[in-house]
Amino acid sequence: MLILVVNCGSSTVKYQLFDMQDPEQGRVIAKGIVERIGLPGSRLEHYYDEKSVIREREVNNHKVALEWILEVLTDPQIGVIQNVKEIEAVGHRVVHGGEKFRESVLIDEKVIETVREYVQLAPLHNPPNILGIEACRSVLPDVPQVAVFDTAFHATMPPHAYTYAIPYEYYEKYRIRRYGFHGTSHRYVAERAAKILRRDLSSLKLITCHMGSGVSFAAIKNGESIDTSMGFTPLEGLIMGTRCGDIDPAIVLFLMEKEGLSIKEMDEILNKKSGVLGVSGISSDTRDIEDAAPSNPRAQLTLDLIAYRAKKYIGAYYAVLGGLDALVFTAGIGENSSYIRKSICEGLEHLGITIDEAKNTVRRKEAVISQDGAPVKVMVVPTNEELMIARDTWRLVAQKR
């Protein structure tokens, strides 16, 4: 079965075409991205057979972008299929599924309408997700489509983990609660960690650390998420590239009054001017911060903050899990930064967490980096959200047949 995985942003469409003959592994036969949709300078980057090509043309909307992708996939010179009819299903990343979607689902009009209801909870993400779904339904009208939700994996959190201590009526009226994000990534690395350890996921206590430009940790017990660091929005939790993470909410009110800031301006500060960028004053990319740290105190402070906040979450999740079998690092920082992994794990020896410095040099490869015989396995597991989407799509479409 050939499955097209689509991830739509406000001005981008990322895609991967999977051959799911082996649903466990999958095989990417082409991938790429259309950028600057609706903007001058629209371009497509397409990767196939260890080759790549870049093309430019005007792309006014997501439907035009999808039509271009299908055109490239079937191109006699650079394509990988002869006809779009070879695509048997499409899997979509959808950021917010609210409380109604606890797992991936086949898309119909009712599903689209429900996703639309959650636009107010994810105003930057759900609208382009919907545009992508509608575009695919337009250009591939007879092909089954599946929605895979970032929030779904965290639907197993108990009420005491997802409820905020504000008047309960706001939960009842507006569904204000912790939802959590990066769920597809947390689910993938948890399953891979269990396979690497040759253990049943249903018997494990894991802390998964998704550390990229966005950062979230999850406490996973017996295969289910029981807590996660992101909350009602992706702003809560750990320090991120440009997001502040946990903050005293009174600071927001204080700054709005002192600086005369509007809601939009305050939102811009919290989401786009804070975090690693805000503290360092250098960059939102931790690679730049690591390079600058030896001679820049604010850069070093930024790295210290990242490690300190991470330790606090690991300690908290160790407590709620009642122990720990493995600590798993993933995503851009987690997969590549030996310095940040080491900084986070230093001082956690009393929890059974110890790093082997030679093993910790690994980058973008599955590896156990803890010391031999350590009670807690420390692991690096590169994430693969697209494969997870392809798997869920394959499963739901195969069940329907």
* Mean pLDDT, residues 397-401: 81
Give the rounded percent of residues in the chain with a pLDDT score beyond 90. Answer: 84
The answer to whether 246 is a known catalytic residue is no
Render pLDDT for 358-395 as a digit per residue (tens, 0 to 9). 999 999 999 999 999 999 999 999 999 999 999 999 99
* Higher-scoring residue by pLDDT: 24, 309: 309
pLDDT at 282: 95
Instruction: Of 334, 318, 316, 331, give the one whose Cα is nearest residue 376.
Output: 318
- The tens digit of pLDDT for each residue in 76-103 reads 999 999 999 999 999 999 988 889 999 9
Give 332's pLDDT tier (boundaries 50, 70, 90): very high
> How far out from the chain centre does Cα 290 lie?
23
Could you tell me the pLDDT band of residue 190, with boundaries at 50, 70 and 90?
very high
Task: Return mean pLDDT, the chain.
Answer: 94
The pLDDT value given to residue 127: 85
3-state secondary structure of 345: helix
pLDDT at residue 58 in the model: 92
**Spatial CA neighbour of 84 closest among 15, 37, 141:** 141
pLDDT at 24 over 90: no
Confidence band of 274 (pLDDT split at 50, 70, 90): very high
Is residue 123 over pLDDT 80?
no
pLDDT at 355 (0 to 100) = 96
What pLDDT shows up at residue 173?
A: 94
Place of tokens 């082996």: 22
Band (59; pLDDT cuts 50, 70, 90):
very high
Given a contact cutoff of 8 angstroms between Cβ atoms, the answer to whether 295 and 307 are in contact is: no
**Cα 50 to Cα 80: distance, rounded to the nearest angstrom:** 12
The answer to whether 107 touches 132, Cβ cutoff 8 Å, is no
| 8 Å CB contact between 277 and 241 | yes
- Residue 125: the pLDDT is 79
- The 3-class SS string of 169-226 reads HHHHHHCCCCCCCCHHHHHHHHHHHHHHHCCCHHHCEEEEEEECCCEEEEEEECCEEE
**In sequence order, what are the residues at sequence separation of 6 or more whose Cβ sits closer than 8 angstroms to the Cβ of residue 371?**
354, 355, 356
Annotated catalytic residue, options 150, 227, 325, 392: 150
Lowest mean pLDDT among 33-47, 123-137, 267-281, 288-302: 123-137
Is residue 396 over pLDDT 90? Answer: yes
pLDDT number for residue 210: 97
pLDDT at 400 over 80: no
pLDDT attached to residue 185: 95
Residue 124 clears pLDDT 80, i.e. is over it: no
pTM value?
0.92
Please count the residues of the chain.
401
Q: Which residue has the higher pLDDT, 32 or 119?
A: 32
- Judged against a pLDDT cut of 90, whether residue 145 lies above it is answered with yes
pLDDT at 317: 98
